[in-house]
Amino acid sequence: MKHLLYILFFIVCNNFLGAQEKVSFTAEDGLPVTADLYKVNPDKPYVILLHQASYSRGEYKHTARKIVKFGYNCLAVDLRSGGEVNYIQNHTALLAVQKGYSTDYLSSLKDIEAAIQWVKQRNDDPIILLGSSFSASLSLLLAKGNPDIEAVIAFSPGEFFEPEISIKHKIKNFNKPVFVAASKREEDYIKEMFHFVPSANKTIFTPQNGSGEHGSKSLWKSNPSSKEYWLALTMFFSKIR
């Protein structure tokens, strides 16, 4: 009987681990921002998950449930520059269009800043930003010099904001741990972009088997190299804990 009760308790606990809750907060310019909260423990630190172009918080529908097992709460944010993925519509982007807000890449900085503020109101631990494609580049811009950000995980960052902003020069002497994941075809480009980041602070990963994927889709089961990406990411988390 005790054995059966233990099994039932284990099942219930795992069902609640990373339970999802939709939350909303307001960006500095008044736009409501939608996010999915995957909470393991309110006293644990947070990873803020940011999607790639034309996508939504649905990019992390399955990924977030794995990251919470590392002992982090996750907040997957709908940025105002986005669309739909994994059958999850980007509510922030819909409202931005309806209300006449700018939806270019750089305007999404306000949404990330609001997400950071929302987390800091609930937890004093340093935050990890995990970005995908254009949001990986935004994460790098926001993290440098920001004491609230402990580290950045950047999947396929790029020079999406030229000529106004050069990521390569903005992240020169980046002084925080950064994990950069890229596909094989992006490898040389990524190495050049991070040329001025000290070796002690950066981890650049590309898969040995397969070509990989652009953005955090690298972690999806549909990517044949996903296990390699997950192993590399797990090792990075173990180094910053």
pLDDT in tens, 108-164: 999 999 999 999 999 999 999 999 999 999 999 999 999 999 999 999 999 999 999
**Is pLDDT above 80 for 8?**
no
Percent of the chain scored above 70 by pLDDT? Answer: 92
Taking the CA of residue 39 as centre, how many other CA atoms within 13 Å lie in the half-sphere pointing to its CB?
Answer: 13
CA distances (Å), 193 to each of 92, 174, 177, in order?
A: 30, 12, 16
Q: What is the pTM of this model?
A: 0.92
**Is pLDDT above 60 for 6?**
no
**Per-residue pLDDT, 241:** 79
Residue 4: band (very low, low, confident or very high) from pLDDT cuts 50, 70, 90: very low
The residues spanned by each domain of the chain are 20-240
**Per-residue pLDDT, 17:** 52
**Is pLDDT above 60 for 11?**
no
**Is pLDDT above 60 for 199?**
yes
Collect all residues with Cβ–Cβ distance below 8 Å to 207 and sequence separation of at least 6.
183, 184, 218, 225, 228, 229
CATH ID of 20-240, from 3.50.50.60, 3.40.50.1820, 3.40.50.800, 1.10.357.10:
3.40.50.1820
pLDDT in tens, 57-70: 999 999 999 999 99
Q: Give the number of other Cβ atoms within 10 Å of residue 128's Cβ.
A: 27
Tokens encoding 19: 């339970």
DSSP 51: -
**Is pLDDT above 70 for 192?**
yes
Query: Strand runs (DSSP E) across the chain, as ranges?
Result: 19-26, 32-39, 46-50, 73-77, 84-85, 88-89, 127-132, 149-155, 178-181, 202-205
Look at the alpha carbons of 158, 164, 167, 168 in this order and tell me if their dihedral is positive or negative. positive
